[in-house]
């Protein structure tokens, strides 16, 4: 029974490593999602490239983030950026978190770290072949990230008052 549990864990680890390798070999943002998008309701613009993104929220506010070489240790250090990971129950979908931590709010206790952050969240289908015409994203300026240091697991979240963008391709 113990051998089966070890084999299962090893298979999960290898699967996660394969997905991570496949994503990093071609960039973190899947090709079908790369391009320029616009949200009619808010006027926001979004540009996604293989390893970076820009979201223009207004004439005076733009968010830019890098998606290359960001990992758990980068989060622990409080580095802003685009973090990509496979969705736990569907490895064909990735979760994309744009995170801008507020280091001054950082708390650490018993192996856990949490801090306030601006969070932008989306899910992307890695199997999409054609250019995606529409992309939903959630944005909150008052989000939070939580880090479990011993297991190297993390998550980010937004309150119900978040803004939802319905981006439509414009290129």
User: What's the pLDDT tens digit per position in 9-28?
Assistant: 433 433 333 333 333 334 58
Residues 27 and 52: their CA atoms lie apart, in Å, by 9
Quickly tell me which residue has 């697991």 as its tokens: 153
Q: Summarize pLDDT for 139-151 with one digit per residue, the tens.
A: 999 999 999 999 9
77 CB-near residues (< 8 Å, 6+ apart): none
Q: Summarize pLDDT for 36-61 with one digit per residue, the tens.
A: 999 999 999 999 999 999 999 988 89
């Amino acid at each position: 029974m113990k051998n089966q549990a070890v084999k299962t864990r090893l298979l999960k680890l290898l699967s996660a490593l394969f997905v991570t390798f496949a994503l990093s070999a071609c960039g973190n943002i899947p090709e079908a999602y790369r391009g320029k998008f616009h949200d009619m309701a808010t006027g926001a613009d979004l540009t996604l490239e293989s390893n970076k993104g820009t979201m223009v929220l207004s004439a005076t506010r733009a968010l830019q983030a890098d998606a290359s070489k960001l990992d758990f240790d980068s989060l622990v250090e409080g580095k802003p950026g685009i973090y990509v990971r496979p969705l736990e129950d569907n490895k064909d979908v990735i979760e994309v978190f744009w995170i801008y931590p507020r280091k001054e709010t950082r708390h650490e206790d018993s192996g856990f770290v949490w801090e306030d952050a601006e969070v932008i969240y989306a899910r992307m289908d890695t199997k999409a072949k054609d250019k995606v015409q529409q992309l939903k994203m959630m944005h909150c300026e008052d989000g939070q990230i939580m880090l479990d240091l011993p297991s190297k697991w993390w998550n980010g979240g937004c309150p119900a008052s978040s803004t939802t963008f319905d981006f439509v391709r414009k290129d």
